[in-house]
Amino acid sequence: MYKDAETRRFGHHRHFMARLRLVRFSQRRVLMAAVMCCTYFITFHGWSSLDSELNPIGTTFESANLLRTEDGALQHMNARSHTRMKLLNTLQRALEQPVPFLLVTGERATPCKTQQGSHLMMKSYKNKVDYCNLHGCKVWYTLESWEQGMTGTWARYPILKRLMRTNPSIEWFMWMDSDAMFTDMAFSIPFDLYNEWNKNLIIPGYWEKVYADDGDWLSLNAGIFLLRNCEWSQNFLGKWADFGRPESSKEFTVKLNVEFKNRPKNWPADDQSALVYLLRQNRTEHEQKAFLEASYSLHGFWEYIVDSYESMLARGNSNGKDKWPFITHFCGCKLCSGEYATWKSVRCIENFERAYHFADNQVLALAGMRHLHLSTPRVVPIAVV
26 compared with 119, residue with greater pLDDT? 119
What pLDDT is attached to residue 344? Answer: 74
Q: Give pLDDT tens digits for 261-304.
A: 999 989 999 999 999 999 999 888 888 999 999 999 999 999 99
- Which residue did the predictor score with more confidence, 39 or 259? 259
What average pLDDT score do residues 97-125 get? 87
Instruction: Report, as an integer, the average pLDDT of 71-89.
Output: 50
pLDDT confidence of residue 353:
96
Q: How many Cα neighbours within 13 Å face the side chain of 289?
A: 19
Instruction: Say which residue, 339 or 157, is predicted with more confidence.
Output: 157
Predicted confidence (pLDDT) at residue 59 exceeds the cutoff of 50: no
Residue 48 pLDDT: 38
Q: What is the pLDDT of residue 9?
A: 46
Instruction: Give dist(CA 204, CA 221) in Å, integer.
Output: 6
d(C-alpha 64, C-alpha 365), whole Å: 27
Query: Higher pLDDT residue, 55 or 1?
Result: 1
Residue pair 179/221 in contact (Cβ under 8 Å)? The answer is: no
The pTM (predicted TM-score) of the whole model is: 0.76
Which pLDDT score, from 0 to 100, does residue 259 have?
94
> What pLDDT score was predicted for residue 85?
58
Instruction: Please state, in angstroms and rounded to a whole number, the distance separating the CA atoms of residues 328 and 309.
Output: 11
Residues 6+ apart with CB under 8 A from 175: 104, 105, 156, 160, 223, 224, 225, 227
Strand ranges in the chain using DSSP code E only, listed in sequence order: 66-68, 74-76, 102-106, 138-142, 172-176, 180-182, 201-204, 224-228, 290-293, 300-301, 327-329, 369-371, 379-381
pLDDT bin (cut points 50, 70, 90) of residue 109 is confident
Return the pLDDT at 101. Answer: 95
Kindly report, residue by residue over 204-255, the tens digit of the pLDDT: 999 999 999 988 999 999 999 999 999 999 999 999 999 999 999 999 999 9
Question: 357 near 375, Cβ under 8 Å?
Answer: yes
Q: What beta strand segments (E) does 71-113 contain?
A: 74-76, 102-106
> Is the Cα dihedral 173, 209, 278, 337 positive or negative?
negative
> Mean pLDDT for the chain?
80
Which residue ranges does the chain devote to CATH 3.90.550.10?
98-384
CATH homologous superfamily of domain 98-384? Spore Coat Polysaccharide Biosynthesis Protein SpsA; Chain A (3.90.550.10)
CA–CA dist 162, 146 (Å, integer):
9
pLDDT reported for residue 92: 52
Print burial letters for 199-212: b (CB count within 10 Å at least 16), e (below 16).
bbbbbbbeeebbbe
Are 309 and 291 spatial neighbours (Cβ–Cβ below 8 Å)?
no
For residues 28, 341, 224 and 44, what is the CA-based torsion angle, rounded to 10 degrees? Answer: -10
Which of the residue ranges 95-109, 333-347, 348-362 would you say has the lowest mean pLDDT? 333-347
Q: With bands split at pLDDT 50, 70 and 90, how would you rate the model's confidence at 10?
A: very low
pLDDT at site 111: 85
Give the pLDDT confidence score for residue 325 in this predicted structure.
Answer: 96
- Per-residue model confidence (pLDDT) at position 38: 57
pLDDT in tens, 114-161: 778 889 999 999 999 999 999 999 999 999 888 888 988 999 999 999
Residue-level pLDDT at 117: 86
In the beta sheet, which residues pair with residue 139? 103
pLDDT of residue 69: 40
Q: How far apart are CA 212 and CA 283, in angstroms?
A: 12
Confidence of residue 319 (pLDDT cuts 50, 70, 90): confident
pLDDT > 90? residue 42 = no
User: Would the CA dihedral through 182, 184, 190, 194 be positive or negative?
Assistant: negative
Averaged over 70-93, what is the pLDDT?
A: 50
The answer, yes or no, to whether residue 363 has pLDDT greater than 80, is yes
